[in-house]
Amino acid sequence: MARIDESTFGETPFQRLLGHNPEVMKRWNQLDGAFGGLSSKLREQVRRTLAQSNGCDYCKAKGKPDPLEYDEKTSMAVGFTEVFLKQKGDIANSTFDVLRDSFSAKEISELCAFIAFTTASQHFGALMKLEPNNRG
C-alpha cells in the first residue's frame, strides 16, 4: 500500500500520487511526453533496465528487459544504462565515445535526460511504496 492515499487527479496510480499537486503532475506528464527522438521500444528497454535497480516495485512489475527486443541502438542504450547504474555520474569519456558511434549528440542528450527523468520517476515510486497491485 502506498504511503499516502491517491488523489482524484491522474489516470495511473503514479499520477494519482503526484496528483495531490496537479501542476506538478501536469508538468511531469508533459516532460514524459516530450521524449520522442528515441524509439519507444528503446525507451521501454531502458526503463525496464533502470527499474531493476531503482527500488520501485510498481516499475519492476512491468517486466525485465527483453534482449529479444534489442536492435543495435537499443543494445547500446541498455549497456549505457547499466554503466550509469553502476557508475552513477562517474562515467568515462570513452563510454560517450562509444555512444557517438551509434547516436547523434541530440540522441545522447535525450538518452541521458530520459535516464535521469526515469530514475527520478522510479525513485518517487519507491519513496511512495507504489506497489504493482494498486488499481489502474
Q: Among residues 9, 50, 16, 28, which one has the least CA distance to residue 135?
A: 16
For helices 105-127 and 22-34, what crossing angle results, to 10°? 150
Residue 57 DSSP label: H
- Distances from the Cα of 69 to the Cα of 36, 42, 48, 49, 63, angstroms: 18, 8, 12, 13, 13
Grid cell 503514479 in the structure block, residue = 14
The domains of the chain are located at: 37-121
What's residue 89's pLDDT?
79
CATH assignment, 37-121: 1.20.1290.10
Asked if 50 and 119 count as a contact pair (C-beta separation under 8 A), the reply is yes
Q: Is 25 helix (H, G, I), strand (E, B) or coil?
A: helix
What's residue 51's pLDDT?
97
The pTM of this model reads: 0.94
pLDDT, tens digit only, all 136 positions of the chain:
899 999 999 999 999 999 999 999 999 999 999 999 999 999 999 999 999 999 999 999 999 999 999 999 999 999 999 999 999 879 999 999 999 999 999 999 999 999 999 999 999 999 999 999 754 4
Q: Which long-range contacts does 22-26 make (Cβ < 8 Å, 24+ apart)?
A: none
